[in-house]
Amino acid sequence: MATFLRRIAMLQCFLMINLTFLGFGIQGVNSLGINYGQVANNLPPPEKVLELLRSLKLTKARIYDTNPQILSAFANSGVELIVTVENDMLGVLMDPQQALQWVSTHIKPYFPATRITGIAVGNEVFTGDDTSLISNLVPAMVGIHGALAQLGLDQYIQVSTPSSLAVLSNSYPPSAGCFQTELAGIMTQYLHFLSSTKAPFWINAYPYFAYKDDPNRISLDYVLFSPNSGMVDPYTKLHYDNMLYAQVDSVIFAMARMGFGGIEVRVSETGWPSKGDTNEIGATVGNAAIYNRNLLRRQLRSEGTPLRPNMRLEVYLFALFNEDMKPGPTSERNYGLYQPDLTMAYNVGLSALSTTSSTSSPSSSSSSSSPSSASISLTSSANTNVSPLGN
């Protein structure tokens, strides 16, 4: 009897250890996703990519199309997918019948076996040069949402569009955040759509760009989530110890200024390149590892921003792989955590995040210059009659 009881006790202990480990691995990064780009000619097949995600215990991913091979491979995996409508489809999908046909062809055959949770309609449309795309965006979103509703899928799949931080004319201090004047009309329509459908505002936010453009005035520690004195918003008195959270809160304030104070903001892209051209200051393996590692540690703590501390910030890292066919500077091809052969580009520490202490930057100190230039425009006055806190 004593032997039997000892075995039961050992089994209970074993189960507790395993459940604790699984909770750390899966639940601990529940607010973290990864961008799975495919602008490359040497990527592994989707089945291998799924194995990689499972090994990293990542349960959310975003793709930049509706690749049927990926949608099929991810069936019954439990991985939540955000799919994308390419920019050149927006004009077509303004037509409700075309939108219904698109959803019936690209979404319905795979759902619910493949857990499609979001449709990104275009990417960074508001800050592009094509004004027709901008005018077509909201009608296309309305068409796709209407098609989802017609098929009974709207309660499962959200419709939004990822925007560049350049939609803001001011982002510093966060309480002065406001949208570009020329976007006022279309932005009102867009925010009304998000509010009525309870969908999030997706923002592509890269502190790296701010640092690269002004490394003498912006603290590297501040952009890397490393220990630093941070900054205090002079109007809200909120303290910020990293640029990403300040950028997110500036979007929240910008929406509140337009009368939409309860919309959730999610980071659809953020990351740091591990390699760049000679003029791409800060694009190093060391900085990329520190940025992503420290961000992952924040995600394990299910943090919110200073403005919404009790609302966990959902973040999608960019990117899973280095993509060798992406145009532009060298950095564009070196945001990946992994090489296409599934070896690590650098060790971000996904398997060793048991500590929540941030890693200090090896190339800067906490006494670096103030992060006050982490913005699109440095001069503005905050409107204190807005309520951005949401729920």
Please, where are the H alpha helices in the chain?
A: 2-25, 46-56, 68-73, 90-93, 96-106, 131-150, 184-197, 207-213, 220-223, 243-257, 285-300
Q: For residue 63, what are its two tokens?
A: 């793709």
Q: Is 113 helix (H, G, I), strand (E, B) or coil?
A: coil
Q: Is 209 helix (H, G, I), strand (E, B) or coil?
A: helix
Q: For residue 160, what are its two tokens?
A: 């939004």
CA 177 centroid distance within chain: 19
Q: For residue 35, what are its two tokens?
A: 């961008």
| Catalytic site includes residue 269 | yes
With beta carbons less than 8 A apart as the criterion, state whether 334 and 276 touch: yes
Whole-number Å distance between alpha carbons of 207 and 212? 9
| Catalytic site includes residue 124 | yes
Catalytic residue among 51, 80, 124, 303: 124
Catalytic residue among 269, 280, 314, 323: 269
In 3D space, the residue among 366, 223, 245 whose CA is nearest the CA of residue 299 turns out to be: 245
Among left, alpha and beta (phi > 0; psi -120 to 50; other), residue 384 is alpha
Q: For residue 198, what are its two tokens?
A: 């309870």
| Torsion sign across C-alpha atoms 321, 244, 30, 349 | positive
With beta carbons less than 8 A apart as the criterion, state whether 379 and 322 touch: no
With beta carbons less than 8 A apart as the criterion, state whether 54 and 60 touch: no
Whole-number Å distance between alpha carbons of 102 and 174? 39
Strand pairing of 60-62 and 80-85?
A: parallel
With beta carbons less than 8 A apart as the criterion, state whether 253 and 175 touch: yes
Active-site amino acid positions: 124, 269
